[in-house]
Amino acid sequence: MNIILFGPPGAGKGTQAKYLVKKLNGYQISTGDILREEINKDTDIGKKIINNMNEGKFVSDEIVNSLLKNHVFDPIKKEKLIFDGYPRSISQAKNLDLLLNNSNQKIDYIFFLNVNKETIIERIKKRKILEKRTDDDVSTILKRYDVYIETTRPVLDYYSKNSNFHEIDGTMEIDQITSKIEAFLNV
């Protein structure tokens, strides 16, 4: 089963993805983790990524799509992909459709964690303290949130027409969100 979790930065996608990985014996495909891994390797791509992240911009679709391809085509991960924060643009959504089609896979469930800006700011402040993430300061998050809303609205429209699309109130407590997702998955 392949699942997409999407929502603004700080919506709880990573938390829910980690739970689903354990519950379904799946693989979390977090573009944030993939990008941070590239940064840690200190590659040229990693340097471009860090500049974009520090400016509150999203990394180009071309970079993200190329880094993602290896995960989708990994035979061990087939039909066990939990996409955390991908796709974020129509270009990425179409790329994912193409990759999945070419690897004889599909998306079984799409969950949109809908969260308001105020809740996200509070969560990011807590996450910065707990996880010590350098990309978690309020001004950067506000830029990322605004960019997210602008670029992801078309993705929401793209997926919301699908029968496997489910919008969940992301302001609920973690266990309440998990219960809602479990109800859709029948697990």
**Shortest CA distance to 112 belongs to which of 85, 92, 146, 133?**
85
Alpha-carbon torsion angle 70, 71, 75, 79, nearest 10: -140
Print burial letters for 86-98: b (CB count within 10 Å at least 16), e (below 16): bbbbbbbbebbee
Angle at CA of residue 99, ends 135 and 148, nearest 5° = 30
27-30/81-84 β-pairing: parallel
Cis peptide, bond prior to residue 8, ω within 30 of zero: no
| pLDDT reported for residue 112 | 94
* pTM, entire model: 0.83
Return d(Cα 8, Cα 115) in angstroms, integer: 7
| Tokens (6 digits) for 103 | 């690897």
Q: Which two tokens stand for residue 83?
A: 């996409």
Could you read off the pLDDT tens digit of each residue along the chain, which spans 187 residues?
A: 999 998 887 788 889 999 999 999 999 998 878 888 889 999 888 898 888 878 877 788 888 888 899 899 999 999 999 999 889 889 899 999 999 999 999 999 999 999 988 888 787 777 666 666 565 567 777 777 788 788 888 999 999 999 999 999 999 999 999 999 999 998 7
Could you please state the CATH topology (level 3) that the domain comprising 3-185 is classified under.
Rossmann fold (3.40.50)
Write phi, then psi, for 92 (nearest 5 degrees): -65, -40
